[in-house]
Amino acid sequence: MATKSIKIAFMGPTATGKTHAARALKDKFERTNKTVGAELTVCHIATKNEPDVKVYLWDCAGAKTYEKLVQIHLQRSKSVVIFYDPYRKDGHLLARKSN
């Protein structure tokens, strides 16, 4: 049986935890630098109906300079997870404007 695969994009303003969340799914807890463009993390999960699902997590940079590139990575995504900083007064507004 062929492995099923899905694409998920993480997006939001800079410094909201997108890279740390993606790496946590691979048990890679380490200091990170700012993401340049987008970073791919691949992991495998098992579900009730599918024994092996390959998940492609695209960690999209939050900087405005990468806005066009991020749009490309959002294409054909099955899901988009939006990150924001709840401690910033304007955190939710930045998430809405992001990419």
The reported pLDDT for the residue numbered 51 is 84
Domains and CATH numbers, the chain: 4-85 (3.40.50.300)
If you write DSSP's letter for every residue of 59-82 in order, what string do you get?
A: EE--SGGGHHHHHHHHTT-SEEEE
Neighbouring CB atoms inside 10 A of 58's CB total 21
Burial class (CB in 10 A: 0-12, 13-18, 19+), 79: exposed
pTM for this model (two decimals): 0.73
The reported pLDDT for the residue numbered 72 is 78
The reported pLDDT for the residue numbered 95 is 55
The reported pLDDT for the residue numbered 23 is 79
List the pLDDT tens digit at each of the 99 positions of the chain: 567 899 998 888 888 888 888 878 776 555 566 676 778 888 888 888 888 889 888 887 777 777 777 777 778 888 888 888 888 777 666 555 554
| Residue entry with tokens 């997590």 | 57
Model pLDDT for residues 66-89, shown as the tens digit of each residue: 777 777 777 888 888 888 888 877
Q: Which of 86, 90, 74 is nearest to 9 (CA)?
A: 74
C-alpha–C-alpha distance, residues 59 and 86, integer Å: 19
The reported pLDDT for the residue numbered 88 is 78
